[in-house]
């Protein structure tokens, strides 16, 4: 079971180009699935930040919450890249959709949780997954903007992918794992 309808991806205007680039890397793009705890999704997120102990049951429960929200209206668009040989998830990112009244009841897209498995880095996979999310925000959801927050070191990567510095993010950390 997918988190959202796979047609959200296959109907992208640049899908043919994305698929061709992915298949040259023995990868394919798909929505997150309810059994992805077993396919390395949590291990992948652990390379981004602290994840902690998330069991298969915890994962399925959170997945089901997100899926039921998406059944009302799309909010959690988690895209994964799967290695077509090993079936492991090697990259992932989320488009989170925030519904607004402003800009003619438009949406703001948030690019979240971009992760590429360390052993797959250096092949422009990050760039590719970011381009899928940006295309969804622009073409499918007609977001009026897409934003992200990242560390200082990653600013250059996102600048190469059309993001420009627009405002400072201010933050209160509640987590004991904060830095």
Identify the burial level of 102 via C-beta atoms within 10 angstroms of its C-beta, where 0-12 means exposed, 13-18 middle and 19 or more buried: exposed
Residues 6+ apart with CB under 8 A from 7: none
Q: Between residues 149 and 162, which has the closer beta carbon with respect to ligand 16G?
A: 149
Q: Between residues 122 and 176, which has the closer beta carbon with respect to ligand 16G?
A: 176
Of 133, 75, 123, nearest to 100 (Cα)? 75
Q: Between residues 1 and 150, which has the closer beta carbon with respect to ligand 16G?
A: 150
Residue 109 beta carbon to ligand 16G: minimum distance, rounded to whole angstroms: 12
Q: Between residues 25 and 48, which has the closer beta carbon with respect to ligand 16G?
A: 48
Cα radius of gyration rounded to whole Å, the chain: 16
CA distance 91 to 54: 19
Residue 148 beta carbon to ligand 16G: minimum distance, rounded to whole angstroms: 4
Residue 112 beta carbon to ligand 16G: minimum distance, rounded to whole angstroms: 4
The answer to whether the Cα torsion of 46, 49, 54, 59 is positive or negative is: negative
What residue number has its CB nearest to ligand 16G?
A: 49
- Cβ neighbours around 54 below 10 Å, total: 15
107-116 and 145-147 strand pairing = parallel
Residues that bind ligand 16G (CB under 6 A): 48-50, 111-114, 148-150
Residue 6 beta carbon to ligand 16G: minimum distance, rounded to whole angstroms: 22
- Cβ neighbours around 65 below 10 Å, total: 11
Residue 115 beta carbon to ligand 16G: minimum distance, rounded to whole angstroms: 7
Contact predicate 59/89, CB 8 Å: no
Q: Between residues 74 and 112, which has the closer beta carbon with respect to ligand 16G?
A: 112
């Amino acid at each position: 079971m997918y988190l959202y309808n796979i047609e959200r991806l296959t109907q992208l205007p640049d899908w043919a180009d994305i698929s061709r680039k992915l298949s040259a890397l023995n990868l394919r793009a798909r929505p997150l699935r309810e059994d992805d705890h077993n396919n390395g999704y949590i291990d992948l997120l652990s390379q981004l930040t602290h994840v902690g102990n998330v069991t298969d049951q915890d994962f399925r429960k959170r997945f089901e919450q997100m899926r039921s929200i998406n059944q009302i209206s799309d909010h959690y668009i988690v895209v994964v890249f799967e290695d077509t040989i090993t079936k492991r998830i090697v990259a992932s990112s989320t488009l989170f959709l925030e519904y607004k009244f402003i800009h003619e009841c438009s949406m703001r897209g948030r690019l979240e949780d971009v992760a590429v498995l360390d052993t797959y880095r250096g092949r422009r996979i990050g760039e590719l997954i970011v381009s899928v999310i940006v295309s969804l925000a622009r073409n499918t959801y007609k977001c009026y903007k897409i934003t992200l927050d990242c560390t200082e070191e990653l600013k250059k990567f996102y600048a190469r992918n059309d993001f420009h510095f627009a405002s400072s993010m201010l933050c209160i950390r509640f987590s004991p794992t904060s830095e």
